[in-house]
Amino acid sequence: MDTPRGLQFFMHPGPTNIPERVRQAMARPAVDFTAPYFCELRDRCLERMKGVLKTKKGFVIVYAASGNGAWDASIANVFSPGDKVLVPTTGFFTDRWANTARAYGLQVELVETPERRAIDPEAIARHLAADRKHDIKAVLVVQNETATGMRHPVAEIRRAIDKTNHPALYMVDTISSLASYDFRMDEWGVDLVIGGSQKGLMLPPGMSFTAINDRTWQAAQVAKNPRKYWDWRPMIDNRRQVHFCGTPPITHFYGLEVSLDMIEEEGLENVFARHRRLADATRACVRAWGKGGGPEIWSLDPEAASDSLTAVLVPQGHDADRVRAIANDKYSVALGRGLGALQGRVFRIGHMGDLNEPMLLGSLAAIELALAEAGVPHARGGVDAAMDSLRAPVGKRVAAVA
Ligand code: PLP
């Protein structure tokens, strides 16, 4: 490995770059978490998170845990052993959430989604329509499948559920989409949201949350699953989190307040527009590399390609991990690896969170060099294509919230 010099370009699809302002805010001593100072900070953050989730009806429950913890909380609190949930498969992360459900004794009915395609809402409608006895208690969807870089149609799935008049709860994992592209808890009728700190929210890993509405809260009162750490009941008073099971993630709250400031200063819709712009440039680059049989964007449907990361499929017989190793060791550009069945077949370029054009262009240039050095066939000119994409006029900026 060459001696690393200069900046490391961290292009992972989570955790993501932590802005200096957030790091500074977190570099402070812990305080008594029962003191008014912390309680007020907690209340402010929980309230402001609702803006990012676009909810007035829901409330947020935070855990000192990674995203897996929020999955556990969603299953432990809402269901009883033997309950059935419907999971449209999208890859690595739905497999894992489904396994969490199985670990609590739930029955998981899968709706298979064809590889490299978005979930078909009609397929969900068919399953629900066939469930005449309403045995299915919830539909579990990952909005942004981080393993494949695909976005799934949350609003359309709500409409499909409504069409069948099925009472199933609708639960959506937004871990790698929240604060990167649009999500609307109330408008899209989402009953439970899963979120995490380490992606669009630009914080370190270790804080996750669920946001729930009154239907989900009611379901938690009758659910029989065993729960202790995740139990909402002692944490919530009048739709407000007032306790944590154990010590809260105090320093994450310092950071969260600043990350919410940053999002509000930029304006949430502008944050989305920036993500779209960087994602478009990345996709233009990969499409240029792919001319004549080179790497491809994993999503076959352009509309379903994620704005928070791009999964790049290398041609058969080539090793995506070799590209990653060269990019990392020689050019200090850290990329995400292929997960599960996609290991060695894809590398993932994270373009979410605290990122700008030069960071992206520098990284794409380094990846282009790494493709050549790894002997992966590709057309040159990817970075030019990304620059052309960035030259396209920027839409009118939306006024910031702050
Ligand atoms: N859900 C999605 C969509 C994810 O991308 C991740 C992690 O990357 C998780 C859940 C699990 O979160 P964690 O790794 O923080 O436990």
pLDDT tens-digit map of 75-115: 999 999 999 999 999 999 999 999 999 999 999 999 999 99
Residue 45's pLDDT band, with cuts at 50, 70 and 90, is: very high
- The residue whose CB lies within 8 Å of the most ligand 1 atoms, and thus the one to mutate among 119, 176, 230, 339, is 176
pLDDT of residue 402: 34
Q: Tell me which residues have their CB closer than 6 angstroms to ligand 1.
A: 14, 66-68, 93, 142, 146, 173, 175-176, 196, 205
What percentage of the chain exceeds 90 in pLDDT?
Answer: 96
Helix and strand numbers (H, E) in the chain are: 12, 14
* CA–CA separation, 55 and 183 (whole Å): 10
* CA–CA separation, 349 and 306 (whole Å): 11
Residue pointed to by tokens 């690896």: 337
Q: Do 14 and 199 contact (CB within 8 A), yes or no?
A: yes
Residue 396's pLDDT band, with cuts at 50, 70 and 90, is: low
Structure tokens at 310: 């791009």
* CA–CA separation, 154 and 199 (whole Å): 19
Element (H, E) at 192: strand 192-196
β-strand 346-350 against 9-11: which pairing, if any? unpaired
- The residue whose CB lies within 8 Å of the most ligand 1 atoms, and thus the one to mutate among 68, 141, 144, 198, is 68
Minimal-distance CA residue to ligand 1 atom 2: 175
pLDDT of residue 159: 98
Asked whether residue 119 carries a pLDDT value surpassing 70, the answer given is yes
| pLDDT tens per residue, range 240-270 | 999 999 999 999 999 999 999 999 999 999 9
pLDDT of residue 392: 83
| pLDDT tens per residue, range 209-237 | 999 999 999 999 999 999 999 999 999 99
The closest alpha carbon to 282, from 342, 318, 322, 333, belongs to: 333
* CA–CA separation, 248 and 64 (whole Å): 6
Burial class (CB in 10 A: 0-12, 13-18, 19+), 267: middle
Q: Do 83 and 220 contact (CB within 8 A), yes or no?
A: no
* CA–CA separation, 311 and 115 (whole Å): 13
Query: What is the distance in A from the centroid of ligand 1 to the CA of 269?
Result: 24
* CA–CA separation, 306 and 350 (whole Å): 10
Contacts of 317 (CB under 8 A, 6+ apart): none
pLDDT of residue 242: 97
Minimal-distance CA residue to ligand 1 atom 14: 67
pLDDT of residue 5: 83
Residue 4's pLDDT band, with cuts at 50, 70 and 90, is: confident
The closest alpha carbon to 77, from 182, 197, 209, belongs to: 209
Asked whether residue 399 carries a pLDDT value surpassing 70, the answer given is no
Give the residue-averaged pLDDT of 306-323: 98
Three-state secondary-structure class, residue 61: strand
Give the residue-averaged pLDDT of 305-311: 98
The mean pLDDT of the chain is 96
Structure tokens at 148: 């494949």
Residue 164's pLDDT band, with cuts at 50, 70 and 90, is: very high
Atom of ligand 1 nearest to the CA of 208: 15
| pLDDT tens per residue, range 170-199 | 999 999 999 999 999 999 999 999 999 999
pLDDT of residue 401: 43
